[in-house]
Structures are given as C-alpha cells and as structure tokens.
Structure 1
Amino acid sequence: MHIGSGPREPQAICAAVLADRYLAPGERTREAVFKRVARALARAEQPCARSHFARLFHRTPCLLFWARHSTRAQ
C-alpha cells in the first residue's frame, strides 16, 4: 500500500480486532471509538472548552496521535 491509495474495504480480521480490543459496550464502529477517545482526551481541558477540543480532536486524527504521544513524555 502506498500513501494516497484511498480507502480500502476492511478485512475481516480488522473487524474482529476492533470488536475484541477497542469497542466499548454499545459501540459498533471505529467512528464511535474515535469519538470516545476524542472526548476522553478533551477532558484534560478546562470544562468550558471540552466540547470544542473534542470536536477538534475528532476532526483531526493526527492531533489524537500527537496528544497520545505528548502526554507520555510528561
């Protein structure tokens, strides 16, 4: 696979791993996981700014990656 190849059809193993390791009760899609993680990361912000940052983290997946790795160093 090369960058820019576009979306691919998920493989069966991907769905199995998602369900086994990442989906919380009541979640059925990776989109639900992304939203949950974005909300969790936003909890580090001031209460009045949390919804803004949750939307920002959800819209910008690279921020999720950055946030996860930058908090490890602290």
Structure 2
Amino acid sequence: MTFRAWQTLMVALVFAILAAGSAMVYANAVARESERQWCGIVTTMDDAYAQTPPQTPAGRQIAGDIARLRGEFGCPRR
C-alpha cells in the first residue's frame, strides 16, 4: 500500500471512532433526560410509600422498587 492509501485508511478509522463516540455520548444524554422526566412521579410515589408504608408483601416490593428507581435515576430527596 502506498502512503496515500494508509493516510486515507487512518482518516476513515479516526472518523469512524469519532462517530461511534459521538453516538454513545448522545445516547447517554437522551437516556439521562428520559430518567429525569420520570423523577416527578417516582419521587411522589416514594414519598407516599415512606409516609404510609405498605402492609402487603407485594406493596412492600413495589415500594422497594420505587425507592431503588429513585436512587438509580438520581431523583432529589425533598
């Protein structure tokens, strides 16, 4: 291969890496925004379960799952 062919190949490789990196950054930003949009309902439900804890096993599991989601989504504590 000539120097020009290697140069073209390297430019294509760098472009592909940059495109893939940009796509990953964008996807992560969209996912974080989606999670933040759920914070209102998740926070309200978690606060309600904290004020009046559920009495059934299913209710306790739901309350635990909501509390876990609140933490994973990074929703603020009021």
Higher relative contact order, structure no. (Cα contacts within 8 Å, ≥ 6 residues apart): 2
TM-score, reference length from structure 2? 0.25
TM-score, reference length from structure 1? 0.26
The structure with more radius of gyration: 2
